[in-house]
Amino acid sequence: MVKVVFAILSILGILIVFAIDVVVSRILFRPGAEITAFTQLFTYGSAIPLCALAMVLVGQMEMLHLFRNRGLRPLNGFVTIMVTLLMLSPWLCSAGWLGGRSDQIEGYSWHIVWLGLSVIGGGVLVVLRGLRRPIEQSTQDLGATWIMIIYLGFLPSFAIMLRASRDVSPWDGAWLLLITLLVIKASDMGGYLIGVPFGRHKIAPTISPGKTVEGLIGGLTASVFVAIFLAWLGSSSVMTFFDDLSSRQSVSLLREYFAGLRDFFPEMCGLFGAVTQDGMNPLLRAAIFGLVVGGVGQFGDFLESVFKRDAGVKDSGHVMPRFGGILDLIDSPVLAMPVAWFLLTEVWGLA
């Protein structure tokens, strides 16, 4: 019960962060507003990129602890720099701060630069370290460094790429990211609610003893249900409800927030519907999105469990009661976010 309550509170916290981000974006992008370099930046993200960076940096400290339990010495300072660059560059690119070409605005070229620098810079630093210390386990140290950069910088940066996409309106990127997170976390919660009382058949007891086949099926079912429900919601009468709220609220921030929600539901309908012309039923597309993203999120949970079991610990940290650390919270989105980005941008061409 404690886990369920904490999960609900975590979702509420996420909704607050997204609400702040969307409100700021709508206020800065309102008609007649002066556009400067800074307003352009905060139009395509504010609370979301900064909170995401803070979470992965906390996760970095937890991962460092896991690797040190194995006797490894990753280049932690270098990891911090590269993770920060990878996480923030899509946001900076969206505002044109890192160049005006299309590949620079989308962030692709800079991702290649940062990944190349990670490989070269990590190798150089390991060699320089070898001049001052014994070189035992240098290969493993370098491998741990690259794993941390990819796992905590490159993979979650696709969440910022969704938020800061220039192919949708400035605040729709936040809703796309929220949709993805809700579908992913539905898999986590569905797996827990079904797996704990009904789970009988273990999937990988040496990696994650608590994971069962029943929990996996429950998690995937929950992801598919949430995706289909949100897609259906876009065409329901709930739009009228939010139209009324957005017009009646006397407080400007609330009005902006509910206006954002009003726009969110049509976006949900378009997410699996009219965006592409392949003839596929929108609800079927939503089901595919939920199944694929939820399934990859489950594998993300297993991957983080591999890190923990190899380090000989049960939880990555103790930030959250009975949940563990930040890594235990972001393990599913880290692996699923690039897949969601690929489906939404390259397959269905939404963002």
pLDDT of residue 238: 47
The position carrying tokens 């993805």 is 180
Answering whether pTM is above 0.85, one says yes
- For the stretch 28-63, pLDDT in tens is 887 777 778 888 899 999 999 999 999 999 999 999
Domain edges within the chain? 46-166, 167-351
Closest C-alpha to 72, from 146, 151, 141, 145: 141
Using DSSP, state whether 152 is helix, strand or coil: helix
CA gap 240, 242 in Å, rounded? 5
- For the stretch 142-151, pLDDT in tens is 999 999 999 9
Using CA atoms, how far residue 78 sits from 115, 153, 261, 319, in Å, is 12, 12, 40, 24
Using CA atoms, how far residue 88 sits from 196, 230, 286, 342, in Å, is 38, 29, 29, 19
Using the predicted structure, report yes or no on whether residue 276 has a pLDDT greater than 50.
no
The mean per-residue pLDDT over the stretch 297-304 comes to: 94
Neighbours of 55 (CB within 10 A): 19
- For the stretch 152-187, pLDDT in tens is 999 999 999 999 988 777 888 888 898 899 999 899
Using DSSP, state whether 315 is helix, strand or coil: coil
